[in-house]
Amino acid sequence: MYRLMKDIIFGLRFKRAVKRADSLHNITHRKYLVLVINKKLEVLSKQEVRKLVANGIFRKGTTVGDIERKALYITL
């Protein structure tokens, strides 16, 4: 029962993040990614991810391609 509730809540949060990514994509025409960062769903543009990788926020050796492959959702 507990696992079911967690899955339902995650599903609702994921839908909200996808809607936010799509709406931001329609406004700015950038590629947006839905990622899990610190157990939260984050919506980041690919340009923001590039800046985070360049500043060393992610582990050394991590590339934008690695992060893009692990994204839960990518706008087109």
Annotated domain spans of the chain: 2-74
DSSP per residue, 8-73: HHHHHHHHHHHHHHHHHHHHH---EEEEEETTEEEEEEHHHHHHHHHTT-SPTT--HHHHHHH-SE
pLDDT band for position 67 (50/70/90)? very high
pTM of full prediction above 0.75: yes
In the chain, the amino acid numbered 32 is: Y
Q: What is the pLDDT of residue 27?
A: 97
| Mean pLDDT over each residue of the chain, to the nearest integer | 96
